[in-house]
A and B are shown apart, each in its own frame.
Chain A
Amino acid sequence: MKTIDKATEKMISIAEENLIDTAFDRLDLQLPQCGFGELDLCCRDCNMGTCRIDPFMELPGKGPKRGVCGLTDDMMSARNFLKLVTRGTSAHATAAKNVSTVFKGVAEGKVPYQVVDDEKLKEVLEKLECEDVSCLSERALADFSKDEGTLNFLKMIPEDLINLWQKLDILPTNINQEIVEGAFRLNFGVGADPYDQILHALKLGIVDGASLFISSELQDILFGTPQPKEGESNFGTLNKDYVNIVAIGHAPVLFEKIYEATRNPEIRKYAEEKGANGIEVYGMMCAGNELFVRHGTPMLGNFLQQEFAALTGAVEAVVVDSGCVMPALVETASDFHTKIITTTKEAKIPGAEHIEFDYEKADEIAAQIVNIAIDNLENRKEARINIPKEKTSFTGGYSKLPADKIASAIADGEIKGIVLLWGCNNPKTVHDRSHVEITKGLIKNDCLVFGTGCWSYAAAKSGILTEATELSGDNIRRFCEDAGIPPVVHLGSYVDTSRFCSLVLEVAKALEKPIKEIPVVTCAPEWSSEMEVATSMFFVALGIPNVFGVTHPAGVANVRDILATKFEDTTGGKILFEKEPERTVDVILDNLKGRG
């Protein structure tokens, strides 16, 4: 079984009929994957390598137990782990930098964006002790270049925790500096001590968390704070009489403008002239979450479904920014009329059309992209349209969470704990299954579940977002009726993970306890991207245990031990691993029980 989603199953068979390979097929061709790589025992950081360390027994003195430079297995594994965290942090830092730049443009009146949510602006200004937008944009950009003190966007972190981070020497000075240090530590003959490398990964985790806060706070101000709304998910939402544009990627800076363009009467009229009944933007992955929580647009599908958008034969353009975009999109779409349009200078794909996004000309560029899609409608072939029927309704996009009520319910023992489920899909495990089963298992056991990223689609498509109340335990049902939130709460995109962090901070404040004594766990059951590893280090720094599925992000036992035990006494966070979804629920429950 490859997936639990019926629409995806249909699209896989359509791909097979058309002799188009998908991520599932490409994984099959990769098998068996190199065990040295899987175990973190492969290092090609310098030109004396490639070095490998033999995990099995060799003739005495002959089996390589060290690299040419003398690197042992745990040193190698820690370096590889730091590599993941550095790269993941750089992704969120870049996203935060981009939003901050746009925000500065708003302050100077140079870009066609404006402050939409005054209430949120006031709230953030107060938090950061700022007077106006231009001060706030300076504070945000200063986090990338400060020479002393710590990040402005760590103001929401309580003082105790900041002091603890200072004591551990993991309080970051500025975002860019720490990422550069991460890269430096991976240089030829620099970082070797596994514990020290992991400690820097923890510092980068904090940088990653601050970046998430910058993105989500500034995006709320520019595009509005999400309100709960009803929506639909899966391929069945595609309307075959419309010009269909699919947005894949992350940042709403571009996609908001594309959404606006599709609502422009002139452009709509142009689409009608070309024979369409209308025009719609469908989001996939984080882009879809961002569009849904603010405008209620259909959420088409998650990471492993991205290739299938073109296969429906009813999509005129796939617009991508950066991150989680498979280069395979171009090859898959080449057989169909769908145009793949890249927009980010860092993320070009050979064979795709590149229209570089420029904030100052955002409106024109968005209109240009939408017009390309409309012009492409005439190339659509009726006979090749194949839209699966499956679609599910759900309610999501929560941003204001009743922290006080949750805190008192935790104190009364009414709910066992709060859990965040997040992260990608991975073809190495059944698509969506772990996300759905773990969610079901947790609500049955009186846990309140929050979710972001590609989890959102798994939850929406399977219907748990609507059926959650029937599936959950009595206590949680009673609590949710009272608090006005469902047992399974959809927060939004990956950067909205910061909303969960804010909730945990507020609950801790209400209970007057450190986070390490609050029953909270996070879990990325189908992770693929290094971004999850980076953010999981933020959870460790906050004092939250994080459970990974599929495979452990570190291959060597010693490094796993450092991640699982070395920070338990200080911050209270740790990284755990469990492959099977059923057992993951037990691991999460055990960890909740041990706290508070």
Chain B
Amino acid sequence: MYVDIEKCVACYTCKMQCALQWSDKDNVFQASREVPQLQSRIRVKKVGNYSIPMTCRHCEVNPCIEACPTEAIYKRDDGVVVINPAICIGCQSCIKACPIGAIYFDVKKNAAVKCELKCSNAFEERDFCCVESCPTGALIYADFGKVAKERV
């Protein structure tokens, strides 16, 4: 996933849609009242003059997995990095290890949470919900070579 930072207007639509994915409700009206409150797995950070949506890149080398003392974080066969909340002890080591700050801490569950690509089953045709919902097209999911070529 790539971000065209010049296009991000920080509307947080991706954040809304992501939080909605973690709910069994299909609309923001009901989802926003769920108890405990839902948490989005994507954040929009302000860096200088730019807004940058940040979410897990499911890296090839995973500092988060290496940092986890209980092996709660692991890479699935399809390459998606996920957390097993039953084993997570809430030490927050992965949060410190992540170079882009894409892992968050859920105080109520006392566990780390992150993007687990819940919105697209094993890389189906469908775009991820943050990509699909972005009104300006700032989030792009495509082959790196193609994106690089287009942006030159």
Contact = CB atoms under 8 A, between A and B. Distances in A.
Contact of A57 (B13, B33, B37, B135): B37
A60 B110 CA distance: 12
B106 interface: yes
A577 to B, nearest CB: 9
Contact of A56 (B29, B39, B105, B135): B39
Contacts of B39: 56-58
A57 B29 contact: no
Contact of B28 (A39, A52, A60): A39
A57 B106 contact: yes
A555 interface: yes
Among B16, B20, B33, B104, max chain A CB count under 10 A is at B16
A32 B17 contact: yes
A32 B16 contact: yes
Among A30, A35, A55, A557, max chain B CB count under 10 A is at A35
B9 to A, nearest CB: 11
Contacts of A32: 13, 16-17, 133
Main secondary structure on B side of the interface with A? mixed
Contacts of A55: 28, 32, 37
Interface string B62-79: 000000000000000000
A55 B38 CA distance: 8
A551 B135 CA distance: 22
A146 interface: no
A59 interface: yes
A1 interface: no
A36 interface: yes
Contact of A552 (B13, B17, B29): B29
Contact of B16 (A36, A59, A552, A557): A36
Contacts of B15: 56
Nearest to B38: A56
Interface residues of B, number: 24
A48 interface: no
A39 B105 CA distance: 25
B12 interface: yes
Contacts of A551: 29
B145 interface: no
A56 to B, nearest CB: 4
B152 interface: no
B47 interface: no
A580 to B, nearest CB: 13
Contacts of B37: 55-57
A35 B36 CA distance: 19
Nearest to A37: B11
Contact of A34 (B11, B19, B33): B11
Given A52-B12, A56-B19, A555-B29, 11 more contacts: A34-B16, A35-B20, A36-B16, A55-B37, A56-B15, A57-B36, A57-B39, A57-B106, A57-B107, A60-B107, A552-B29
20 contacts: A32-B133, A34-B12, A34-B16, A34-B135, A35-B12, A35-B20, A35-B32, A36-B12, A38-B29, A39-B28, A55-B28, A55-B37, A56-B15, A56-B19, A56-B37, A56-B40, A57-B39, A57-B107, A551-B29, A555-B29
